[in-house]
């Protein structure tokens, strides 16, 4: 399905990354006034590759990977003790495409935990609704921001002693949509930024995707009776108005609702997926997890689907308050990731 024609999105323009976008070698460009340094204090990537001396756990705050219209977009990098390059999990926050940030409850929880399991964690921001001018549409600009983060980190992986061949993403809700979409559109030309100054030549393909209760197919979502009258965030995200978006046979259904859906691009080149959803989710119906699983399965992608019972939306943000199920899924996710390290 990679040959799916690019849709002309009215008003969807994403701005070039600033030529001054910082890299670990540049020693500059963090959000605020602090200077960026390398993971080991060195600016020599070759030396970092050869160095096997231990590096202690550390956190790099507000690393800028894109600047758009004067707005710096960055992330926080949590690193474990390491002597060799480690895999990284890029965390993508939720918030209905209109709220949330890299240091939300779920992101802080996972960022503290992943390094104890041998993973780096890169929790990233992306532009949400309030960051766009009137008439601008977040899609596909917001996922393009995250693709810049992937490409930037891969370009600079050596400086942080991260393995560029072991990049994973994890997100829930709106972040779950992002992980789904990033997973099925890796290096797809119409969704690959060509103007990210640092990392523009890097791949944005992933080696694994973890999705908690994320939207996956807008045609299915907008026509699901369980979501009647609850579509404002998703409609705004892809630039729709009206009460009955994506009615069967409509131009919207074959246009934006199809082109913005992760399921559209599923094919056998996609990375492995781990999908979890609750059958009692009142925000993103469980059919979205099932549809994503079915599309990947049909494309012969390695996909694990774990449907849980009785949990509400957002349960990945507090493991202990989800009747033990959250902890069990967390452990299952970690085991799944380690099996692909």
> pLDDT confidence of 298, banded at 50, 70, 90?
very high
**Does 27 reside within a domain?**
no
What is the model's pTM? 0.85
Tokens 């009776």 belong to residue: 225
19-28 confidence digits (pLDDT tens): 333 334 333 3
Say how many C-beta atoms besides its own lie within 10 A of residue 300's C-beta.
11
Residue 240: which of 11, 22, 5 has the closest Cα?
Answer: 11
**Does 4 reside within a domain?**
no
**Does 36 reside within a domain?**
no
* Of 1 and 182, more confident: 182
Q: What is the pLDDT at residue 321?
A: 64
Question: Which residues, 6 or more positions from 259, have their beta carbon under 8 angstroms from its beta carbon?
Answer: 4, 6, 7
Q: What is the pLDDT at residue 322?
A: 58
> pLDDT confidence of 265, banded at 50, 70, 90?
very high
> pLDDT confidence of 197, banded at 50, 70, 90?
low
Mean pLDDT value of segment 276-302 = 96
* Of 202 and 321, more confident: 202
Domain count, the chain: 1
14-70 confidence digits (pLDDT tens): 333 333 333 343 333 333 333 333 333 333 344 344 677 899 999 999 999 999 888
Mean pLDDT value of segment 172-191 = 97
**Does 12 reside within a domain?**
no
Tokens standing for 316?
């990945």
Q: Residue 296 belongs to a domain with what CATH number? A: 3.40.50.1820
What domain range is 235 assigned to? 53-338
**Does 16 reside within a domain?**
no
217-227 confidence digits (pLDDT tens): 999 999 888 77
**Does 121 reside within a domain?**
yes
């Amino acid at each position: 399905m990679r040959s799916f024609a690019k849709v002309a999105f009215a008003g969807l323009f994403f701005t070039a990354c600033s030529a001054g976008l910082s890299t670990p070698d540049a020693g500059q460009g963090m959000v605020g006034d602090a200077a960026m340094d390398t993971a080991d204090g060195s600016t020599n990537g070759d030396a970092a590759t050869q160095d096997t001396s231990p590096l202690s756990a550390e956190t790099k705050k507000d690393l800028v990977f894109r600047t758009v219209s004067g707005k710096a977009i960055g992330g926080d990098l949590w690193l474990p003790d390491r002597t060799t390059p480690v895999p990284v999990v890029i965390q993508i926050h939720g918030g209905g495409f209109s709220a949330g940030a890299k240091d939300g409850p779920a992101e802080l929880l996972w960022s503290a935990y992943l390094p104890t399991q041998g993973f780096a964690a890169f929790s990233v921001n992306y532009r949400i609704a309030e960051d766009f001018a009137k008439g601008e549409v977040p899609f596909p600009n917001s996922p393009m921001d995250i693709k810049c983060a992937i490409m930037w980190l891969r370009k600079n992986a050596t400086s942080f002693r991260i393995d560029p061949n072991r990049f994973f993403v994890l997100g829930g809700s709106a972040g779950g949509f992002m992980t789904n979409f990033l997973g099925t559109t890796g290096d797809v030309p119409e969704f690959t930024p060509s103007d990210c100054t640092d990392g523009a030549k890097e791949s944005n393909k992933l080696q694994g995707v973890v999705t908690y209760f994320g939207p996956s197919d807008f045609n299915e979502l907008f026509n699901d009776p369980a979501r009647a009258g609850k579509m404002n965030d998703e409609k705004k995200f892809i630039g729709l108005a009206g009460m009955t978006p994506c009615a069967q046979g409509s131009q919207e259904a074959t246009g934006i609702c199809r082109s913005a859906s992760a399921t559209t691009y599923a094919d056998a080149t996609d990375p492995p997926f781990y999908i979890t959803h609750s059958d009692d989710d009142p925000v993103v119906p469980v059919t979205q997890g099932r549809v994503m699983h079915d599309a990947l399965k049909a494309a012969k992608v390695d996909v694990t689907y774990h449907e849980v019972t009785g949990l509400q939306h957002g349960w990945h943000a507090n493991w202990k308050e989800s009747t033990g199920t959250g902890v069990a899924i967390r452990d299952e996710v970690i085991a799944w990731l380690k099996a692909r390290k």
